[in-house]
Amino acid sequence: MGQAVGVQIGLADVPALERGVSLLGSGGGGDTVTATALLLSRLAAGHRTALTPVGELSGDARVVPIGVIGATAVFAEKLPSGAEFRAALAAIERWTGHRADALVSIEVGGLNGVVPLVVGGQLGLPVVDADLSGRGVPRLDQLSVAAAGKGLTPVVLAEPGGQVLVLAEGTSIEVERTARAFLAGSGGWAVLALAPIPASELPKCAIPGTMGAALSLGRQALSADAEELAAATGGRVLGLGRVVEVSRRPGPGEHGRTGFARGSATVRDHRSQSLLRLEMENEYLFAMRDGEPVASTPDVLAVLDHRTGVPILCDVIRRGVEVTVLQLPAAGFWTDPRRLQVLAPRAYGIDCDPVLLEVRR
């Protein structure tokens, strides 16, 4: 297959891409600093990187979903050698008998909105302008391929110590559970690769255009204030004020297993003196104003440092910071009634219906 040209990503585009994927992480997705540094280094060395629209691929082209899962804070401390990505790709190709013609990110929000561009350049494969999340999501069973009924297996996990695990069969929930157990006993993070998907099937089980949308969102964010950004994207400013309280606690687990850490951050809105409380897990999930629900996943909830506009991750938000809280519209894939429940508040143990924006991108 000839490599499609697509949209070129240059050095000047990287800050906007990083800001866009950070916003779509909804407070999660991992710190983008390390991945961005790797991309900048590659581009500075003269390598070319591009986003390829799904429609520019031949229908029978095989697209491999790829990304990093696990403790992304460890990813910054234990840098990838590059061998992990090659090992994951080689294993999924051997197992399925299909060679990869292109790559697609498993998650546009956060770290994985940048990593595939680095990997695609290293492996000489185009990166498709799409992803399997449309935002930040915490669990593998919440990826779009699972939500669309395609399932996840076979799955390959390649960790930095050299171990490669192939999960040949299992439900999406079983894959999620097994992957977390593997990460706990290895290096803390791993490269994940899923079976190659024919390009003709991608629109049914992926979310096209999200990488380009992240770039556009980042450009808007870097050139506008929060109110202007909200107006341009069909979102809204939920609050503007100081973080007055942050609490953290163990998350609900199943079958004796501890879940993801949970917590909340409370912002006193300078404009109304109301209290805006954000419930968070790996991402910001739910917002209440003086006890009344006002916003929720699958819409994106982003907390920005009011001075710099930089998104603040859930695991680093602290009391005393001046912030702006944004609600940005979810990708239409997730507002479809057939899939809404996958990312709705009850999917995280929050007993409330979704509270979403009416305007859709």
Q: Is residue 318 part of a domain?
A: yes
What local confidence, expressed as pLDDT, does residue 82 receive? 77
One domain, residues 113 and 147: yes
Total structural domains within the chain: 2
Side chain identity, residue 3: Q
Q: Is residue 217 part of a domain?
A: no
- Cβ neighbors of 273 (< 8 A, separation 6 or more) are none
Q: Which regions in the chain score pLDDT beneath 50?
A: 1-4, 255-258, 359-361
What local confidence, expressed as pLDDT, does residue 25 receive? 97
One domain, residues 91 and 178: yes
- State how far the alpha carbon of 146 is from the alpha carbons of 26, 107, 115, 254, 353, in Å: 21, 13, 22, 20, 22
User: What range does the domain containing 22 cover?
Assistant: 7-212
One domain, residues 185 and 273: no
One domain, residues 230 and 175: no
Q: In the listed set 155, 185, 212, which residue is the last one of a domain according to the structure?
A: 212
Q: Is residue 358 part of a domain?
A: no
What local confidence, expressed as pLDDT, does residue 256 receive? 42
CATH value at residue 168: 3.40.1610.10
Q: Is residue 98 part of a domain?
A: yes
One domain, residues 183 and 233: no
Q: What is the CB neighbour count within 10 angstroms for residue 161?
A: 10
One domain, residues 194 and 265: no
What local confidence, expressed as pLDDT, does residue 224 receive? 94
What local confidence, expressed as pLDDT, does residue 323 receive? 98
**CA 148 – CA 325 distance, rounded (Å):** 31
